[in-house]
Chains A and B, each alone.
Chain A
Amino acid sequence: SQTIHQWPATLVQPVGSPLSLECTVEGTSNPNLYWYRQAAGRGLQLLFYSVGIGQISSEVPQNLSASRPQDRQFILSSKKLLLSDSGFYLCASPNGAYGYTFGSGTRLTVV
């Protein structure tokens, strides 16, 4: 079965500091991968998706970037965090009739 690992689970970072969140997938090969952000009281906003190594599509202009250095690895980064980057970040991958499988998420607080 497909499993998505995300880390860290929580992160508190000062404004202007860099960010790196990592997601790895097990149980599938060449998966599509997605980064979502979930703000309080709001739905999941698609940030980036990737259909393969080195292939990144951005859904919304923002302070973040994504990379896919390996087939099962997806990284979300920022060079300088903003307060507005705070939120709950989820990595996801399609899983047939289940829609998506999600990671456990990273709670990012920018202070």
Chain B
Amino acid sequence: EDQVTQSPEALRLQEGESSSLNCSYTVSGLRGLFWYRQDPGKGPEFLFTLYSAGEEKEKERLKATLTKKESFLHITAPKPEDSATYLCAVRVNDYKLSFGAGTTVTVRA
């Protein structure tokens, strides 16, 4: 069964304290792994798409990496505005994405 597991569930960081979020997945034939950011009471917003092991994508303080079994979202020198829930999803077939439960990141000034 296709499965996506994110850890930790919650992460509290001091401003400037870098850290990483983990997304482990089991899917037969990965056709895309996606990272989204979700602010409270809003819909998820697209961050990155990764397709193959070794691929990396970067945007401002965020960097996503992919291996054959997991993906990491690295947050470098976070700021309070990086506080959000970060969702990971994998495409399991032509019509469906399977989502993890998310990691809620809180960055304190």
A interface list, Cβ under 8 A from B: 4, 6, 9, 32, 41-44, 46, 49, 51, 88, 90, 92, 94-95, 97-105, 107
Point out the residue from A41, A88, A99, A104 that lies within 8 Å of B32, measured CB to CB: A99
Given that A49-B96, A97-B49 are known contacts, is A43 also in contact with B102, CB under 8 Å in the complex? yes
Interfacial chain A residues near B41, Cβ < 8 Å: 9, 88, 105, 107
Distance to closest chain B CB from A109 (angstroms): 12
Q: How far is the CA of A42 from the CA of B100 in the complex (A)?
A: 8
B95 near A32: Cβ-Cβ < 8 Å: yes
Interfacial chain A residues near B99, Cβ < 8 Å: 43-44
Q: Answer whether residue B97 sits at the interface, using C-beta atoms and an 8 A cutoff.
A: yes
Given that A32-B95, A41-B9 are known contacts, is A102 also in contact with B44, CB under 8 Å in the complex? yes
Given that A103-B43, A105-B43 are known contacts, is A41 also in contact with B95, CB under 8 Å in the complex? no
A99 near B101: Cβ-Cβ < 8 Å: no
Interfacial chain B residues near A6, Cβ < 8 Å: 43
B32, B91, B97 — most chain A CB neighbours (10 Å): B97
A104 near B95: Cβ-Cβ < 8 Å: no
- 16 further interface pairs, Cβ-Cβ under 8 Å (given A99-B89, A102-B44): A4-B43, A32-B95, A42-B101, A43-B87, A43-B99, A44-B99, A46-B96, A51-B95, A88-B41, A94-B95, A98-B34, A99-B32, A99-B34, A99-B91, A100-B44, A105-B43
